[in-house]
Amino acid sequence: MTRIDIPTGEIGTTRVFSLSMPPAQARALRNSPQAQSAILGVESLNTDGVEVFPLTDLGDIGLTGYLREGTDAREDDIKRDGGKLAALDGWVMLVHSVAFGGAGGSLTPDSALTLIGTYAQTPAPTTQIDVSAESAKPYTGSVTATAANAQDNRGSATLIVAILCIVAAFILWLAFF
């Protein structure tokens, strides 16, 4: 058995395994989280990150198209393994990074699994925006607003409270008399 290390915090990676087993056993594997964990040789697994299916389910798009469009795998990685991917038939298991929940560890796959390749997502383009406008620089401009004087508002607040008390007293007087 080959050991496959999964780095802690891994995201955006898909591992493709071919399944060397009868279709009935592969169908059972598709629906059994315990069997998926056992065949991959791990204690726990988020099965939302595991796909088991026959390649015929992909139709005309094929596995390379699914990796390209469905998982956003890097084109260089797909081209590197294009011959192996094209030669596959039968059932495959795709294990995405989400299956490990960010926790590192290692897989010790059963002999019925053959690792075809590991495919990382295409990284998002990152470009730094040059902000050169004067207004974007820190501590530019001057303060034009003046602080409100709290004592100027005390008289208004007292007057409003007094009027509300008179109105409340009047309402109570009407209600009881």
Q: For residue range 87-102, what is the model confidence (pLDDT) as tens digits?
A: 999 999 999 999 998 8
- Pair of tokens at residue 97: 């990074």
The DSSP bridge partners found for residue 115 are: 17
Return left, alpha or beta for 59; rule: phi > 0 is left, psi -120 to 50 is alpha, else beta. left
Taking 60 as the threshold, does the pLDDT of residue 150 lie above it? no
Q: What pLDDT is recorded for position 51?
A: 95
Q: Supply the mean pLDDT for the chain.
A: 87
Mean pLDDT of 68-84: 92
Element (H, E) at 137: none
Taking 90 as the threshold, does the pLDDT of residue 134 lie above it? no
Highest-confidence segment of 131-135, 141-145, 149-153, 168-172 = 168-172
What pTM does this model have? 0.68
